Structure 1
Amino acid sequence: MVRITEDLIRKRAEHNECEIYSLQEISLHQQGVERIEHLDRWCRDLKILYLQNNVIPKIENVGRLKKLEYLNLALNNVERIENLEGCESLKKLDLTVNFVGELTSVEQLQQNQFLQELYLTGNPCTDYDGYRQYVVTTLPQLKTLDGKAIQKTERILARQEYEEVRRKIIEQQKTYIQKRLKEKEESERKAEAQEARTGAQPGFDGRWYTDINTHQSDSSNKNGEGGKEEEEDEEYWKQQVGYTPESRLEIQKKIEEQKRKKEGIEEEKPKKQRNLFAEDGRPYNVNEAKLDFNLTDNEDDNVLLLDVAAFRYMDTSLMDVDVQPTYVRVTIKGKILQLHLPEEVRPDSCKAVRSQTTGNLLITMPKANQVVKPLKVQQEEKKTTRPTEPPTEKSRQAFERLEVDPTKSKGVDFAAITAEKHKPAQQPFGTVTSRPAERPNSKDFVDDLDVPPLM
């Protein structure tokens, strides 16, 4: 079974940066815990404690948790409510689906003045006649029992019948205790029979045989052991057993046993260590990562360039580069890329750069043997000039340009846009309306004022 250790608590305290002393909430559910221990000394500031779905048979080692407000022990093997007097701040206690048959142990919660919620659903004590009336009267500080609010009238009525209800509860409790004693005796007999069956040597009945054929059948029996184990496991899970603390504990042990078998069938084989060097010390070329690479010799700069096509979105922290005078090693996620260099390089002057667009890794390795080369002088090209020649007719024609009348151009004169507004509007056909010219008067014309003007 699993025990509560410091490593287990630290693993479950990641939300508190793995600090134990200041831990206020922890969840140890479904861990196969068989006993509550060490929490009252290591986690004094606990306020919420989850221990559901384990095989804890007894409430213990929680009296020093003065700040504990919520204790969840659902789906365990608790048979009695005890050792909670020291939890002064306890407000909620969940004992759903346990084996609490001693209902009178509820009286020990009278000292927990701040207790407001209590859950006992799924326990044998809930089948007793007068169960709710007894708990409501015994614990006057309760506000909720099994998820149902306690009314004031309900409390008054339960208090009136308290003595009679308590007497019935004690009688039913004695009957249940006798039943539990029988269940314990029966489980002990089954356990002894199981040990005797597994402890006996298979195939040996106390007599010796000299028949050779029996030895030949031993090999076939060994081959069939795996099948028999599977059949036994199948029969075990099909058989009907009572729902008792012993049966739950046995099932938990069976589950852990099968888990250990599965883990032990094939132990993790150590990875084969690849030889990176020959017996004479010469480095091998190894590409475990199966990455594309390009090793070039740049004679102009006297360096070796190694371009490794690393994964584009891989974090650079997963890469490691080791440059030695005769080889270079690139480790990517534990996979090695090692190359033997054609020339010796200077490891202290090497440089590794990674592209931000493609993710490629470029390693620049200066050679150990430096080569002195003359500087390249860029010769300026001499400008050739031709002698001046008198312009000929062809040259003149080459520079002749077509003269265009500026008035004929169709370009828009933006400066004259406002001036065009004062021009008379043109008719659709382009004619401009104007006043007709008057005909001159004849020589014999006499202007008579008595004659009215023509309209």
Structure 2
Amino acid sequence: MAERVMEEQIQDCGYRTDSDVCELYLGRKGLRDVPDLSRFRMLKYLWLNHNKISRIHFLSMNYRLSELYLDHNELSDITGSLSHLSSLHTLMLNDNRLTGLKKTVREMRRMANLRVLNLFHNPLAQDSGYRVYVLHHLPSLELLDREPVSQKEREEAFKLFNPERTAVIQSLGFGRRTDSVIGARPAIRSPASCRLLQSSGKCDRTRNSDRPDTAPFEDRVLLRGYQRSIMHYSLVDWSKMARSQQRRLAQQPCHLPPLVTVEFR
């Protein structure tokens, strides 16, 4: 039945050879299976919506596909069937039976050109943090589930899945670098680490050079967390600086104003 429907569609469109076929509309045909479409190498647009398709095994050589409509079918898993379609721009998978958010998104990680994606009305769309997870792992998306992707959503996804990099970016914004992670719990210090901090100058920063190199690695990392870079800002009061004419007319030599240095830790 599927082959007959496909041949009728080819005749209706007036295609003469397989290489002329750039689009196929096979939607709403009650199809349960689709024959291999490898012979249509130039196929770019494919409609298979509103059928009863349960698995995808017919797109192994259709690398030029840019729009694929598989919504309103009976798909429960797409693993190993779509990852090679790197030219896809639009992918409709809503109203299916897809479960497993991670493996479904992993299948689309190589689609660098993917801009429009529909996954609503699937069991995976009920997972907690579904939208932010998809946006983080598919950064090229501009429209997800018929809603535009905002810059605020991208930033929230970045902060949620990259806490270390977020902490570094925020620390650089205040003119210093820190190795701590925002929201991280303080580490439980052992007696040995406490003695190390006391002997290494936590209160007296001039004794940093005396810290023992034989201390455990964890204690040395903890010690470094208490150290911060020192920033110096030097200022000159230009109102007290003599002008060139004043220097020429002055009876006594003009002294340079003092240099004021401010230290930030």
TM-score, normalization: structure 1? 0.34
Give 3-state SS (helix, strand or coil) of 1:93's partner. strand
Contact 1:118-1:146 at 8 Å conserved across structures = yes
Which of residues 61, 66, 85 is equivalent to 2:63?
66
TM superposition shift of 1:30: 1.9
Q: What letter matches 1:128 in structure 2?
A: D
Contact 2:36 2:59 in 1 (8 A): no
Distance 2:53 2:98 in 1: 12
Q: Which runs of no fewer than 5 residues in structure 2 stay unpaired? A: 164-265
Q: Which of 50, 54, 59 is the equivalent residue of 2:51? A: 54
Q: Does 1:120 align with 2:122?
A: no
Q: Could you say which residue in structure 2 is the equivalent of 1:13?
A: 10
- Checking the alignment, whether the CA contact within 8 Å between 2:41 and 2:63 is kept in structure 1 is yes
> AA paired with 1:101?
T
1:67 alignment partner AA: R
Q: Residue 10 of structure 1 contacts residue 19 of structure 1 at CA under 8 Å; is this kept in 2?
A: no
Measured after TM superposition, the shift of residue 20 of structure 1 is: 4.9
1:117 is displaced (CA, Å) by 0.6
Q: Deviations 1:354-401 (Å, cap 9, x if unpaired)? A: xxxxxxxxxxxxxxxxxxxxxxxxxxxxxxxxxxxxxxxxxxxxxxxx
Instruction: Indicate conservation of the 8 Å contact 1:63/1:85, yes or no.
Output: no
How far did residue 37 of structure 1 move? 2.5
One-letter identity of the residue aligned with 2:14: E
Secondary structure at 1:96's aligned position in 2? coil
Q: Give me the whole-angstrom Cα distance separating, in 2, the residues matched to 1:162 and 1:100.
A: 24
- By how many angstroms is 1:74 displaced? 0.8
Deviation at 1:14, TM superposition (A): 3.3
Aligned counterparts, 1:26-425, within 5 A: 26-40=24-38, 42-82=39-79, 83-104=81-102, 105-162=104-161
Offset at residue 93 of structure 1 (A): 0.3
Deviation at 1:10, TM superposition (A): 2.0
2:248 is aligned to: none
Which AA in structure 1 matches 2:51?
N
Amino acid in structure 2 at the alignment position of 1:93: L
Residue type matched to 1:89 in 2? Answer: S
2:25, 2:17 → 1: CA distance? 13
Cα distance change, pair 163–80 in 1 and its aligned pair in 2 (3 A): farther
CA drift at 1:163: 7.7
Instruction: Indicate the residue corresponding to 2:184 in structure 1.
Output: none
Determine the C-alpha separation between the residues in 2 that align with 1:20 and 1:38.
16
**Shift of residue 84, structure 1, vs aligned partner:** 1.2
Task: State the 1:55 CA deviation.
Answer: 1.0
Once the two structures are superposed, residues 12-52 of structure 1 have per-residue CA deviations (whole angstroms, 9 ceiling, x without a partner) of 12343143501111111122212232212x21111110001
SS at match of 1:34: coil
CA RMSD of aligned residues (A): 1.8
Distance in 1 (alpha carbons) for counterparts of 2:51 and 2:150: 34
Maintained 8 Å contact 1:81/1:106: no
Q: CA deviation at 1:58?
A: 1.5
Compute the displacement of 1:61 (Å). Answer: 2.3
Q: Structure 1: how far apart are the matches of 2:56 and 2:144?
A: 20
Q: How many residues align?
A: 160
Q: Could you tell me how far apart the structure 2 residues matched to 1:114 and 1:18 are? A: 28
Higher relative contact order (CA 8 A, sep 6+): 2
Q: Name the CA shift for 1:127/1:20 in 2 (closer, same or farther; >3 Å).
A: farther
TM-score, length of structure 2 as denominator length: 0.57
Structure 1 runs, 4 residues or longer, greater than 6 Å off: none
CA contact (8 A) 2:23 2:45 kept: yes
Tell me if structure 2 keeps the 8 A contact 1:107–1:139. no
Partners in 2 of 1:20 and 1:97 — Cα distance? 34
Q: Alignment partner of 1:12: what SS?
A: helix
Partner of 2:219: none
What is the CA-CA distance between 1:88 and the residue it aligns to? 2.4
